[in-house]
Structures are given as C-alpha cells and as structure tokens.
C-alpha cells in the first residue's frame, strides 16, 4: 500500500479512447448545471438561503451551479463541528489517516475526467491543463499520505543517560483553508489534505469562482471514509465571512493561496489575538509572483521561445508561476522577439470544451477588465509585438499579448497582472539580466536559459527565488520533485509537495521520562 511515490501520469488526448472519455464527461456534467449545492457541516447538508451562482467564463450566460453561502452563523456551526471532531480525529493513528488519503486518491482517479470537465467548464482550463491539475491533486494525496507515515516514525532526539526522551508531532487544531481558483482542485486538495492527514480539522472556504470543484473534493473525502466534522465546506463572500473566519479565536491556522493583497490582509488579521484566543495563529501563505525567465545569448533561442510561450500563455497566464517578465540579453534581443511573435500568433483562443483551443477565457469580468487596463498601460510604456485586445467570443477572451522595450521599474515590470501579458526587457549582459530579475518584491519562480556552466552556477547562487529552473519552463512544478513556494512577497516559502510541508501543520512535544 505504501509503495514508493510516483507522479500520476497524464492522459494522452491525442488517443481516441482518452478523447472520448473526456467528451463524455463534459456531456455528463452539463446535465448537472441546474443543481443547487448546500454547505456541508458536520457530515450534513446545510442550507443558508443565501445563494452564489458559478458561471462558465467561456460562455458568460451559462450558470454551472448554484451554491448556498456561509455567513458568520455558519462559520460558528462549522467551528463547533470541527472542534468536536478534532477530539477524536487527532487520536486516530497516522497510518489510518494516511489510508483515507490513499482511498481518496483512488476515487479521484476514477472520477478524473469528470473533475477535468468541471475545471474546463467552471474556470476555463484547456483539457491538458485540467488533466495536469487533477493529476497534481492525486499526487498531493499520495505524497502526503506517505509523508505522514514518515513523520510519525521520526524520533527526533538523541539518547540521554538515565532518561527516555521522545519527540512527538501533534496536530494544531482547526484550520481555515482558503484556496485559489487558478488551481482549483490541486491546491485546494493539497492544502486541505495536508491539514487533515496531520490530524487537524478543516473549514474549507473555496474560491467563489470554483465552488463546484471544491464540492467535488468534499464528495470524494466522504466516500473515502472521512468522519463527519473533519472537513466542513463553507463557500462564501470574503467580505461577509472571510475576515470572521480568519479572526475567529478558535481558528488555529490559516492555509491560504492567492493574491499578495489578500495574503497580507490575512497575515495582519491573524496576528491580532482575539478575546479568548490562547495561541499565536500560524499562517501558511503563497501569494503569487512576478516570474521571470532570463534568456542568454548562449542558448537555443527557438527552444527557449517555445517554453516562454507555454510559461506565459498556458492557462491564459493565470498561474502564480507564469512567466510575465522576459529578460533577454541585448545580443539576441530582436531575434528573440521575432521568434516569440511568430509562435504567439499561432495560439488559438476560444471556449475550452473544444480541445483545439490552446487558450481559454480569463476567469471573470473583473479579471478581464484589470488585464485590459494593463494592456493599455503597456501600449504607452512599451512596443506592442502581438495581441493587445479582446479575442472574439462570448466569454472573457483576451489575445496573447507581448510588449517589448518595457523599462525596469514600470508597472508592467513590477506588478502581477495574472493574465496573458508578457513584458520583455532588454539587458546589456547576463549579469545585468540577473540583477533585473531580482529587482522585484516577489520571489516565486523563474528560469534561466544558457549553455554556459559558469552562468548556470551564477544563477543558482544569485537568482533569489523559491523555484529556479534551468533550461526548461518556469511552470509545471511536480509534487515531490519540485517543492513549491517562494520568498519575499511571494509568501512564507511553505514548500507544497515537499518533505517539510506537513511540519507546518503540526507542533512538536518533547517528553522525557526518568528511568533509574
């Protein structure tokens, strides 16, 4: 059962059997768009009467589900449920908790095409991006299950004469898990199951742009045998109940992935002790980035350009790891721009239920408006190479857009856009390129393309980011192989999918007994 961890393989949609399975799953979930979803608290459905509608960003008039929203009353109910469940769940053996995750991983495999279909429909992922997201969610459960067993066997102490010392890792308590919409199954599953397998109970507040995907995880965990109250599903408005959840005196920790602004607000709110609070709340945060790829003259420009395109425009640039800054040394700058433009112009944009579309919509109207405003700024501050406008269709479609000659320190160089906009910056040489890459408040991911071994070693030592990739794309971190999390305003460097991650959800207790 606890064999060596292996990453989940992706379905090959060029093969008819996989393509057919995904097409059928899309048809099946379309028959569920009229469903009304309750909250899920203490193993029971709860209806608040306040409703949230989730829409398909590829077809703005299409509602994919209607969800009851939690308010402060429902947060209190969920907290009471979690506190009751915690007294029993924390005592369950780590291996038994790990078995729940392994069962859930198998259920998710069985439902993979359905989960993919929800992401294709609810948040506009193309087929491969959805497949990768679901596979990563499976990876998280498989990896954290094994990691929990490993952590439970750590001794952590050295012998001491006349005593028997022990070190035990205990769960923290009740946690608020607040995932993003851009990896709506993978990150949601990773944060939730890391908290659960370590013995904690969870109040899960999914993104309002992806509640159907979050509810699917609740169904899976139920089927896997998770006891009532361990996972409580409470979608709702951040302004109505988000601050209340974070500030609640019984909330022991907050696991958050999202924007810098919201992350800093959560961190500030969590730092204030509420009446009746007896602990310092722990915040585990990943807050995005302004991720950079550096292109040296000593490299294969065509190969580099191909991965720049996939890193910048995969999932419409809506990944915290997306390449939004490209720094190219002067010697190959114009040549690189030509190659990039040729490749970007070949990208197809449209509804993602059609697998022939590489790019789908951005997630909602607010995001679309923000991105288009940045594009107008780019037209003033730089040279438009390609794109620069909305794309045709009934959804929130934006053309893949590249701006050249962006100056260091300008808004396109510094601010996270979270859309299909790439800012290209010229550097005099490789040393300046690394300096420019570091000249941002973020520090999440990046990549360097060069064949020069000395430059590679320089980048390893000087490029100050949490995830650095050499001669490959800066997106696509794999669980286990690429523990993910960044520095500075990119978060708390909590390495999701790494061997130290579960420790963030536990606390250590030292016990020593005199034996002579």
Position 1 pLDDT exceeds 60:
no
Return the pLDDT at 239: 87
In a domain, 6, yes or no: no
Q: Are residues 238 and 352 in the same domain?
A: no
Residue in 74, 286, 368, 416 annotated catalytic: 286
Q: Which of 26, 53, 288 is nearest to 131 (CA)?
A: 26
Q: Are residues 404 and 267 in the same domain?
A: no
Residue 488 is inside which H or E element, if any?
Answer: strand 487-488
Contact 194, 147 (CB under 8 A): no
pLDDT tens-digit readout, 246-264: 999 999 999 999 999 999 9
- E-strand ranges in 245-396 read 251-257, 282-286, 291-295, 323-329, 383-386
Q: Are residues 88 and 122 in the same domain?
A: yes
Residue 414 is inside which H or E element, if any?
Answer: helix 411-414
Q: Are residues 242 and 295 in the same domain?
A: no
Q: Are residues 242 and 120 in the same domain?
A: yes
Other Cβ atoms closer than 10 A to 153: 9
Position 2 pLDDT exceeds 80:
no
In a domain, 484, yes or no: no
Q: What percent of the chain has pLDDT over 90?
A: 98
pLDDT tens-digit readout, 299-324: 999 999 999 999 999 999 999 999 99
Give Cα separations from 430 to 437, 449, 456 (angstroms): 10, 10, 10
**Residue 131 is a catalytic residue:** no
Position 352 pLDDT exceeds 70:
yes
CA distance 477 to 183: 12
Q: Are residues 150 and 279 in the same domain?
A: yes
Q: Are residues 310 and 247 in the same domain?
A: no
Supply the CATH number for residue 54's domain: 3.40.605.10
Number of domains in the chain: 2
Residue in 320, 323, 353, 416 annotated catalytic: 320
pLDDT band at 436 (very low <50, low <70, confident <90, very high): very high
Helix-strand-coil split of the chain, %, nearest 5: 40, 20, 35
Instruction: Give the pairing type, strands 445-449 and 467-470.
Output: parallel
Other Cβ atoms closer than 10 A to 267: 18
Q: Average of pLDDT values for 496-501?
A: 98
Q: Are residues 195 and 321 in the same domain?
A: no
**Residue 286 is a catalytic residue:** yes
Position 435 pLDDT exceeds 80:
yes
Q: Average of pLDDT values for 265-285?
A: 97
pLDDT tens-digit readout, 453-484: 999 999 999 999 999 999 999 999 999 999 99
In a domain, 487, yes or no: no
Instruction: Give the pairing type, strands 401-404 and 383-386.
Output: antiparallel
Residue indicated by tokens 């390449």: 323
pLDDT band at 516 (very low <50, low <70, confident <90, very high): confident
Contact 54, 63 (CB under 8 A): yes
Supply the CATH number for residue 452's domain: 3.40.309.10
CA distance 81 to 201: 9
Contacts of 380 (CB under 8 A, 6+ apart): none
Q: Average of pLDDT values for 280-287?
A: 97
In a domain, 489, yes or no: no
Average pLDDT over the chain reads: 97
Q: What percent of the chain has pLDDT over 70?
A: 100
Q: Are residues 29 and 77 in the same domain?
A: yes
In a domain, 498, yes or no: yes
Contacts of 127 (CB under 8 A, 6+ apart): 13, 22, 116, 120, 352, 355
Give the range of the structural domain holding residue 302, as residue numbers without chain letter.
Answer: 291-478
Q: Are residues 304 and 405 in the same domain?
A: yes
Contacts of 239 (CB under 8 A, 6+ apart): none
pLDDT band at 392 (very low <50, low <70, confident <90, very high): very high
In a domain, 330, yes or no: yes
Q: Average of pLDDT values for 208-235?
A: 98
Q: Are residues 38 and 176 in the same domain?
A: yes
Q: Are residues 78 and 148 in the same domain?
A: yes
């Amino acid at each position: 059962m606890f064999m060596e961890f292996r990453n989940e393989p992706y379905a090959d949609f060029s093969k008819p059997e996989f393509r057919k399975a995904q097409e059928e799953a899309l048809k099946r979930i379309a028959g569920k768009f009229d469903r009304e979803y309750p909250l899920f608290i203490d193993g029971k459905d709860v209806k608040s009467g306040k409703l949230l509608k989730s829409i398909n960003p590829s077809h703005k008039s299409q509602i994919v589900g209607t969800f009851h929203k939690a308010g402060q009353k429902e947060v209190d109910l969920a907290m009471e449920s979690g506190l009751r469940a915690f007294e029993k769940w924390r005592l369950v053996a780590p291996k038994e908790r790990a078995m729940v995750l392994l069962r859930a991983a198998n259920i998710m495999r069985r439902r993979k095409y359905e989960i993919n279909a929800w992401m294709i429909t609810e948040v506009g992922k193309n087929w491969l991006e959805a497949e990768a997201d679901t596979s990563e969610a499976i990876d998280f459960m498989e990896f954290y299950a094994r990691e929990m067993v490993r952590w439970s066997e750590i001794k952590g102490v050295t012998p001491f004469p006349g005593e028997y010392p022990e070190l035990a890792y205990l769960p923290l308590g009740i946690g608020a898990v607040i995932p993003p919409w851009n990896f709506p199954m993978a990150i949601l599953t990773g944060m939730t199951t890391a908290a659960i397998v370590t013995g904690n109970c969870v109040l899960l507040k999914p993104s309002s742009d992806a509640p159907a995907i979050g509810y699917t995880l609740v169904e899976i965990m139920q089927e896997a045998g998770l006891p009532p109250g361990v996972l409580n599903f409470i979608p709702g408005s951040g302004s109505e109940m988000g601050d209340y959840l974070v500030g609640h005196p019984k909330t022991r920790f907050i696991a958050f992935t999202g924007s810098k602004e919201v992350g800093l607000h959560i961190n500030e709110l969590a730092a204030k002790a509420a009446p009746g609070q007896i602990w310092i709340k722990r915040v585990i945060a990943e807050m995005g980035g302004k991720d950079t790829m550096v292109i040296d003259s000593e490299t294969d420009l065509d190969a580099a350009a191909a991965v720049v395109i996939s890193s910048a425009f995969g999932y419409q640039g809506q990944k915290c790891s997306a390449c939004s800054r490209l720094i190219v040394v002067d010697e190959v700058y114009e040549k690189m721009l030509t190659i990039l433009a040729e490749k970007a112009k070949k990208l197809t944009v449209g509804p993602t239920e059609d697998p022939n579309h590489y790019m789908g919509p951005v997630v909602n109207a607010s995001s679309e408006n923000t991105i288009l405003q940045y594009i107008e700024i780019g037209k003033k501050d730089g040279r438009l190479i390609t794109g620069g406008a909305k794309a045709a269709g009934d959804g929130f479609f934006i053309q893949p857009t590249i701006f050249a000659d962006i100056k260091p320190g300008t808004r396109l160089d510094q601010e996270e856009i979270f859309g299909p906009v790439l800012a290209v910056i010229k550097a005099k040489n490789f040393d300046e390129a690394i300096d420019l890459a570091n000249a941002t408040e973020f520090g999440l991911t990046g990549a360097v393309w060069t064949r020069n071994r000395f430059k590679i070693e320089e980048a390893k030592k000087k490029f100050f980011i949490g995830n650095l990739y050499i001669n490959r794309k800066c997106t696509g971190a794999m669980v286990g192989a690429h523990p993910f999390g960044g520095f500075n305003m990119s978060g708390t460097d909590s390495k999701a999918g790494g061997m130290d991650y579960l420790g963030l959800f536990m606390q250590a207790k030292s016990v020593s007994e005199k034996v002579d």
